[in-house]
């Protein structure tokens, strides 16, 4: 069975390996360059010397220069988002679907290996290989992103996705969902589409839908409007904290930064914590007129990073387990 | 002679349609059996149930005294199955497929597989997708044979082959069968091809087994009776009439005899196997038509239209 799994998936396996190798070389070259500059420019020493609160004022110019030079490389961080999806769609989707479609399940299930064993070995090898590939990419990305993570933090997207075991979890999930989708549809192309839709649904719920932001209730900081538009929160936020949302808070605890005053004033959100909110056309009176009494900011403190990583990884692994259960049930029960 | 395959009241339903109903038969060891029936009669369903790829809705199937579905680990090594259109991994070379067979089957006979491929002139390095249809069928058969099964099942193995490929295919099959004495069950919608190689016949039609038995026995007990046009009630009292046809002056019957024909007004002729099979299938079709007509006519009372409807519906997997 191990031989058969390798024989059937060696092309995908080698392509994945090739992509990882090319990416690895690229990350190594750019990474070394980046680390070199990080040290030489004194940014590294500056960051080590000053607390995060002083980042903007003291190390700011150095950080800006570093950012200007390497910011475009951040596009690389799309790789850890793409790899799991591609594996799920292109390897997971066809894994069982292609057998049904070409009717080779009638050949392979009639060898002296039971269907359960066939599926167990295939799942173990393919999911295992996916996890190893994701682990390798994870290690590369953690190293490569090191300087950026000191500047931008690793809790907020996109760094969160490749700074911890979530990357392995999401890769295993993508593969498992693909395999389950293929077992349900029994056709390769619908399997690919269904896998893609499922992955989008999960990721949308977790990221944009706010599931991740609420694994633990975010800490809400408020301060009175009277302190004026230039004022900052009464806590020192580090770059490692994840600021989710900021703006004005009403009596019910709703936070908004879109006031819709007749003046057309809308306040940009507070991704960069100390600068809340920059002032367009007198939004302060506008906010007061609409019943808001305070500025507010909600965030997840940096020390929750690993808790969040493990919660989200467990969630993805639970979804994987469900997908595997569906696959096993259908493979054992249904023939065509 | 022991029984290799035994089904009791075996039934399979897909949704609301019965693909196979109340099928009871026993296949003795060492036989080469033909499973004959029109398309959609339930042949594929029966074979898939026998190899354990499907599980029955009702009744039971036993292969070597075990359930092929529940006890697949024990039965699979002793079973081979060649599915319709002999699916193969098209991107595998012939050699890859032999490796697959060797690694997945404890009883695999690699020498036999290689010898057969060489004998057939099939290059081991070629991807199976690039072989001719006849060669692909041969490869599928060799894979099944090299597994050294005690029971080999083939679903419509000849359907997609040209006459020459059919002959070669059957030759490979019969050579192997003579050597090993394994039991073979092969399905077809026509008997002609199988008549020369089979010694056992199962007729399946409209989800039911119509007849099962030794081919010589069937040939011996089935007769064609030709006589002046007359009422057939007298014959029907002793023998079973399978098919009746009248012309203006003549009546022709195909009967399953329960003894000698004593009425001298009938001329007794031998019936060919093909005639016998056709007679059973015609009989079934006629009954189905009658059932349909009964259903379409306004029913005087609640009859049980459900059962009739299911009987005539056909499902091909």
What per-residue confidence (pLDDT) applies to A281?
55
Q: Give yes or no for A115 touching B (CB within 8 A).
A: yes
What per-residue confidence (pLDDT) applies to B293?
63
Whole-structure pTM value: 0.85
**pLDDT in single tens digits along all 317 residues of chain B:** 589 999 999 999 988 888 998 899 999 999 999 999 888 888 999 999 999 999 999 999 999 999 999 999 999 999 999 999 999 999 999 999 999 999 999 999 999 999 999 999 999 999 999 999 999 999 999 999 999 999 999 999 988 888 888 888 899 999 999 989 999 999 987 787 788 889 999 998 877 888 899 998 998 999 999 988 888 888 888 888 888 888 888 999 999 988 888 888 888 988 888 889 888 888 777 776 666 665 555 444 444 444 333 333 333 34
What per-residue confidence (pLDDT) applies to A80?
87
Q: Give yes or no for A125 touching B (CB within 8 A).
A: no
Other Cβ atoms closer than 10 A to A111: 22
Q: Are the beta carbons of B104 and A8 separated by less than 8 Å? A: no
Output the CA torsion B167→B172→B174→B175 (10° steps).
130
Instruction: Give B27's strand partners.
Output: B5
Q: To 10 degrees, what angle do helices A188-203 and A93-101 make?
A: 160
Chain A, residues 6-25, CB within 8 A of chain B, namely 7-8
Other Cβ atoms closer than 10 A to A217: 9
What per-residue confidence (pLDDT) applies to B1?
59
Distance CA B253, CA B234 (A): 13
Q: Which of B81, B87, B142 to mutate to test the interface with A (most CBs of A within 10 A)?
A: B87
Distance CA A249, CA A224 (A): 10
Could you give the 3-state DSSP secondary structure of residue B82? strand
Distance CA B76, CA B105 (A): 9
Residues of chain A contacting B140 with CB distance shorter than 8 Å: 107
Sign of the C-alpha dihedral computed for residues B112, B116, B122 and B128 taken in this order: negative
Beta strands (DSSP E) in B67-150 are 79-82
How close A140 comes to chain B (CA, Å)?
A: 35
Q: Please state the ipTM of this predicted complex.
A: 0.84
Distances (CA, A) of B158 to A304, B134, B188: 67, 9, 8
Distance CA B10, CA B20 (A): 7
What is the helix (H) or strand (E) element at residue B48, kind and residue range?
A: helix B43-51
Which residue is listed with tokens 């050579």? B175
Which residue is listed with tokens 């395999």? A179
Q: Are the beta carbons of A109 and B53 separated by less than 8 Å? A: yes
B-side interface with A, Cβ within 8 Å? 48, 51, 53-55, 72-73, 76-77, 79-81, 83, 85, 87-90, 92, 96, 99-101, 103-107, 140, 143, 147, 317
How many CA atoms lie less than 13 Å away from A104 in the CB half-sphere?
20
What per-residue confidence (pLDDT) applies to A30?
92
Give the residues of chain A that fall short of pLDDT 70: 51-57, 260-281, 336
Tokens of A67: 């950012």
Strand order in the sheet with A255-256: A219-224, A294-300, A242-249, A255-256
Which has the closest alpha carbon to A172: A316, A14, A333, A15?
A316
How close A4 comes to chain B (CA, Å)?
A: 6
Q: Are the beta carbons of A110 and B81 separated by less than 8 Å? A: yes
What is the helix (H) or strand (E) element at residue A300, kind and residue range?
A: strand A294-300
How close A254 comes to chain B (CA, Å)?
A: 52
Q: Are the beta carbons of A111 and B140 separated by less than 8 Å? A: no
Give the strand pairing for B183-188 and B151-154.
parallel
Could you give the 3-state DSSP secondary structure of residue B177? helix
Distance CA A284, CA A295 (A): 10
Distance CA A146, CA A93 (A): 34
What per-residue confidence (pLDDT) applies to A268?
46
Q: Are the beta carbons of B99 and A335 separated by less than 8 Å? A: no
Closest residue of chain B to A5, computed from CA coordinates:
B100
- Determine the distance from the C-alpha atom of residue B298 to the mean position of all C-alpha atoms in its chain, rounded to a whole number: 37
Instruction: Give A245's strand partners.
Output: A298
How many CA atoms lie less than 13 Å away from B177 in the CB half-sphere?
23
Phi and psi torsions of B263, nearest 5°: -70, 115
Strand order in the sheet with B58-63: B17-28, B3-14, B58-63
Residues of chain A contacting B72 with CB distance shorter than 8 Å: 114-115
Distance CA B3, CA B231 (A): 42
Interacting residues of A207 by C-beta distance below 8 A, sequence separation 6+: A157
Phi and psi torsions of B88, nearest 5°: -135, 160
Residues of chain A contacting B76 with CB distance shorter than 8 Å: 110-114
Closest residue of chain B to A1, computed from CA coordinates:
B104
CB A287 within 8 A of CB A259: yes
For chain A, state the CA radius of gyration. Answer: 24
CB A210 within 8 A of CB A290: no
Tokens of B73: 């680990």
Q: Are the beta carbons of A335 and B53 separated by less than 8 Å? A: yes
Could you give the 3-state DSSP secondary structure of residue B151? strand
CB B253 within 8 A of CB B229: no
Distance CA B191, CA B198 (A): 10
């Amino acid at each position: 069975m191990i031989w058969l799994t390798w024989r059937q998936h060696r092309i995908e396996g080698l392509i994945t390996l090739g992509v990882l190798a090319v990416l690895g070389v690229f990350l190594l070259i750019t990474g070394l360059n980046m680390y070199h500059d990080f040290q030489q420019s004194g940014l590294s020493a500056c960051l080590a010397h000053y607390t995060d609160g002083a980042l903007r004022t003291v190390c700011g110019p150095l950080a800006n220069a570093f950012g200007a030079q390497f910011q475009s490389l951040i596009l690389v961080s799309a790789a850890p988002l793409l790899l799991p999806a591609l594996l799920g769609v292109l390897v997971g989707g066809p894994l069982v679907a292609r057998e049904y479609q070409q009717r080779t399940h009638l050949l392979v299930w009639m060898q002296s290996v039971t269907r359960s064993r066939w599926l167990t070995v295939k799942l173990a090898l393919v999911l295992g290989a996916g996890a190893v590939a994701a682990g390798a990419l994870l290690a590369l990305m953690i190293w490569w992103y090191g300087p950026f993570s000191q500047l931008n933090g690793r809790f907020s997207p996109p760094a969160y996705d490749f700074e911890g075991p979530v990357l392995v979890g999401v890769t295993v999930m993508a593969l498992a969902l693909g395999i389950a989708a293929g077992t349900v549809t029994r056709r390769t192309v619908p399997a690919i589409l269904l896998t893609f839709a499922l992955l989008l649904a999960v990721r949308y719920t977790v990221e944009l839908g706010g599931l991740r932001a609420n694994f633990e209730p975010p800490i809400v900081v408020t301060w009175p409007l009277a302190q004026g538009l230039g004022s900052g929160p009464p806590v020192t936020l580090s770059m490692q904290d994840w600021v989710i949302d900021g703006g004005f808070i009403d009596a019910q605890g709703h936070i908004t930064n879109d006031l819709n005053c007749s003046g057309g004033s809308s306040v940009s959100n507070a991704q960069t914590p100390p600068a809340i909110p920059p002032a367009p056309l007198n939004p302060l009176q506008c906010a007061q007129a609409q019943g808001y009494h305070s500025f507010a900011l909600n965030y997840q403190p940096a020390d929750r990073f690993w808790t969040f990583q493990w919660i989200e990884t467990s969630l993805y692994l639970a979804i994987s387990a469900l997908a595997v259960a569906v696959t096993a049930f259908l493979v054992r029960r249904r023939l065509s | 002679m022991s029984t290799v395959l035994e089904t009791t009241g075996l039934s399979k339903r897909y949704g609301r349609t019965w693909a196979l109903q109340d099928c009871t038969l026993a296949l003795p060891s060492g036989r080469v059996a033909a499973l004959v029936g029109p398309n959609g009669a339930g042949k594929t369903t029966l074979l898939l149930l026998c190899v354990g790829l499907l599980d029955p809705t009702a009744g039971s199937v036993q292969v070597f005294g075990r359930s092929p579905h529940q006890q697949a680990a024990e039965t699979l090594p002793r079973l081979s199955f060649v599915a319709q259109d002999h699916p193969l991994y098209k991107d595998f070379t012939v050699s890859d497929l032999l490796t697959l067979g060797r690694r997945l089957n404890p009883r695999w006979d690699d020498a036999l597989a290689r010898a057969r491929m060489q004998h057939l002139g099939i290059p081991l390095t070629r991807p199976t997708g690039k072989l001719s249809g006849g060669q692909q069928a041969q490869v599928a058969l060799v894979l099944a044979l090299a597994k050294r099964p005690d029971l080999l099942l083939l679903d419509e193995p000849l359907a997609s082959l040209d006459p020459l490929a059919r002959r070669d295919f059957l030759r490979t099959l019969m050579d192997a069968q003579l050597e090993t004495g394994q039991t073979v069950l092969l399905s077809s919608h026509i008997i002609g091809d199988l008549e020369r190689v089979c010694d056992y016949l199962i007729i399946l039609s409209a989800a039911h087994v119509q007849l099962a038995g030794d081919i010589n026995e069937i040939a011996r007990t089935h007769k064609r009776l030709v006589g002046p046009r007359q009422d057939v009630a007298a014959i029907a009292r002793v023998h079973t009439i399978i098919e009746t046809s009248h012309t203006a002056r003549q009546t022709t019957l195909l009967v399953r005899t329960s003894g000698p024909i004593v009425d001298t007004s009938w001329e007794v002729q031998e019936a060919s196997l093909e005639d016998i099979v056709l007679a059973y299938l015609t009989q079934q079709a006629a009954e189905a038509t009658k059932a349909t007509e009964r259903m379409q006519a306004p029913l005087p009372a609640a009859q049980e239209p459900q059962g009739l409807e299911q009987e005539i519906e056909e499902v091909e997997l």
